[in-house]
Copies of this chain bind each other. A is one copy, B any other.
Amino acid sequence: MKVLWLFAHPDQRSLSGALMSHGLRTLEAHGHQHRVSDLYAMKWNPVVDAADYDHDPTDRFLVGPTSERAYTEGHLSPDIVSEQEKVTWADTLIIQFPLWWYGMPAILKGWFDRVFVRGFAFGLTDPATGRLRRYGDGRLVGKRAMVITTAGARASTLGPRGVNGDLNDLLFPLQHGTLWYTGISVVPPLLIPAADRTTPTAYETATARLGDRLRTLPTTAPLAFRHQNTGDYDDDLLLHPHLPPAPTGPAAHYASQPPPVHD
């Protein structure tokens, strides 16, 4: 694999940092290549702004068209270009972060906001149908991704009956709405629970689980999200009536349900 490892914890001395180090060593031991974007260490700017795009501030700032034009004409901000080059190089993305307010830290959300511009990450149209090629198709098809997240909560409270909601549902905007949107296949996330009270035993378990997941990543079955353009959605992009009305919610967008998240 050629792995781009995105890391969004402010302290490398954290459990998150230790897990990343272990993960990178595991990749090396198995002959895989890796590059790291340690967003805090890079002082990554997560804020989409007109300055990214050489945009005349007296004109209205339409984010979509402006960013697409900057990409096409080659005057995106250099820090964005550098990240896009890493994505192009990689066949696999690891996206590691502590779960803050049940989502990504802002510094990581803003990596997607700024790097995944139209033209680079999406925007291909099928000439036959006029449909945008997205959700299982598009510019980043052929790549894989895996989320690794550390959470203070116990795993069961992030499961199907847990008070916090199921982890795959919490990650739906990232796993489905961002990664799958661009064509990337997403394998089930790795949850490291109870992260703020990790015992030595729990740490051993966590590194063993991480090692297993990295070793098997190339052959792990991805989440079975439905494809937009292969018959599950109608011309209005609604699920076809013949598809079972239940389950509803995010689960409706899987052809088969994801494995349960466990610790």
| A contacts, CB < 8 Å to B | 10-11, 13-14, 40, 46-50, 60-64, 98, 100-107, 109-110, 112-113, 116, 135, 152, 154, 156-157, 159-166, 169-170, 172-174, 176-178, 181, 196, 228, 233, 236-239, 246-253
Contact = CB atoms under 8 A, between A and B. Distances in A.
A251 B248 CA distance: 8
Nearest to A232: B163
Contacts of A161: 238-239, 252
B177 A164 contact: yes
Nearest to A44: B47
6 contacts: A46-B110, A101-B116, A110-B110, A156-B236, A161-B252, A162-B239
Number of copies: 2
Given A173-B170, A248-B249, A106 B103 contact: no
Contacts of A228: 163
Nearest to A104: B109
Contacts of A112: 101
A160 B112 CA distance: 25
A29 to B, nearest CB: 27
Given A47-B106, A101-B173, A103-B174, 7 more contacts: A10-B61, A46-B46, A47-B107, A101-B181, A156-B237, A157-B237, A161-B252
